[in-house]
Amino acid sequence: MTRPTLYSRSPRARAAAAQTPEAAPAPRKPRSRWRRLARRYRSPLLVALGAALALAGAHFLGAPGSPAQRITQDDIDAAVRHTLEKEPLPHPSVRAFEKVRGSVVRVRGIADGPIGEELEQSVGTGVVIIDNGTILTNLHVAAASERLKVVFADGLESDAYVVGLQPEHDLAVIRARTIPDDLHAATMRSTQGLQPGDHVTAVGFPFGIGPSASAGVISGLKRDFRSPEGQKVLSNLIQFDAAANPGNSGGPLVTAEGEVIGIVTAILNPTEQRVFIGIGFAVPIENAAAGAGLPPF
């Protein structure tokens, strides 16, 4: 019995069918590239999108078309006032005093008593300008007693002697025989550029009390002053209104940055009382530095 063939078509039909390719399956639609990236980086893209939306919103709200959201000068002033009410700025004299106080010394005029004890004849102020113990003070402070002693900021007391005089500026340069290990000289600054109204601080020992700081401003420049006795005229002085009294003589007048611009030398009082009424004078530091042999500014 004849077995059935695999194909019912004739050999010629089968050959023709073999030469005709079968229809290819329908192509699959390619997946979107952006969709694949979105699935892969979903979290970072969400974060970036949120940031972009926030920036866009800020830009939109701050745009010129939204005046209600614009920051005004009143807003800035209110913010500054709020900050200052919470943390007020320190007075300029605070910084000035802290910077110069380590260089300010008490100058004591000493006389020998009848039985060998020391008698304090006068008290003035001085400021260290060289860290070897060189000190600027007033001539009328240095010349007021038989001997001089200085007391440094750390309490060390030392004998001192005169090394230079400038009578025309009422200045004296003295030097301590013993100095502290960590003595620092004050920073000096030229008076060039100073103007009336600039903050200044006078540091010294008024009536022997101190060191004391008093705040004020420069009242004028290039002033002249005649001593009450009329024997001496000082010129080119700095006028200031920071309180100064007997004992302040020879002390530094410093800027808000704590830089020495002058040496307090006189007060003006038309009465017979020797107390401050609002007008003080200081010798410019250029004159004082020259008396100590320091180079000009």
Q: Which residues are catalytic?
A: 140, 170, 249
Beta-bridge partner residues of 218: 240
Asked if residue 218 lies in contact with residue 229, where contact means CB atoms within 8 angstroms, the answer is no
On the CB side of 5, CA atoms within 13 Å amount to 6
Q: What is the CA radius of gyration of the chain?
A: 43
List the Cα angle 263/289/144 in 5-degree steps: 50
What values do phi and psi take at 24, rounded to 5?
A: -70, 150
Chain centroid to CA 273: 38
Strand partners, 234: 225
Tokens of 79: 């913010």
Instruction: Tell me the C-alpha distance between 62 and 194, whole Å.
Output: 43
